[in-house]
A and B are shown apart, each in its own frame.
Chain A
């Protein structure tokens, strides 16, 4: 079983739709959580950190459920430019603080 699991998609949605991505992690010692975005044939870039109380950045909302070891990302009013792969990432301090990446969920927003 992979340490970080995501639905690979692809998610094909129309502009303006709301879309949610889910992610589960297996290491209960995981302490920090992030969503990265990767455009086709480009490098990953940090989209947002995920805090225990949940956090929002414009159209993006991230939530964490430590009891269920579950992370989510909600995108409201999706834009064509949101088309990318979204990577769920955890950081485990009992593994030297290295980042563990999920396989990514592909999103395609259509006009």
Chain B
């Protein structure tokens, strides 16, 4: 199994540009999570999907952030326009369900730098 796949692994962009992060969950998993990690705030849940439907987006910082999951094997997190304070590592994770017995498997992350 390839695990959770994220792309790109690194992204450097200028303030004001649109950034799109991509995630392919583990095949058969029906829950997908987007996290952001910074030194200051640690690991924070941005949004999660169950069966492709957004369940909780209360962690999305503001309207500049949006996430979609058009099918069970693909999700995107978009930032438009990007700002320097968005610089962080963005992780995607998937699990076979939202209950406590379902371990979340994290992807390798996308390291975003906004200059």
Contacts and interface: CB of A to CB of B under 8 A. Distances in A.
A54 interface: no
B98 A103 contact: no
Interface in A76-101: 87, 91, 95-101
Contacts of B55: 96
Chain B interface category by residue count: 10 to 19
B42 A44 contact: no
A17 B16 CA distance: 50
Interface SS majority for chain B: strand
Given A99-B104, A100-B45, 20 more contacts: A32-B100, A42-B108, A43-B91, A43-B106, A43-B107, A43-B108, A43-B109, A44-B43, A44-B91, A45-B106, A46-B103, A95-B56, A97-B98, A97-B99, A98-B33, A98-B56, A99-B33, A99-B45, A102-B42, A104-B42
Interface of B: 33, 42-45, 48, 55-56, 91, 98-100, 103-104, 106-109
B56 A96 contact: yes
Instruction: Select the residue from B44, B91, B100, B108 with max chain A CB neighbours within 10 A.
Output: B100
23 contacts: A31-B100, A42-B108, A43-B91, A43-B106, A43-B107, A43-B108, A43-B109, A44-B43, A44-B91, A44-B106, A46-B104, A87-B43, A91-B100, A96-B48, A98-B45, A98-B56, A99-B45, A99-B104, A100-B45, A101-B42, A101-B43, A101-B44, A104-B42
B55 to A, nearest CB: 6
Interface residues of A, number: 20
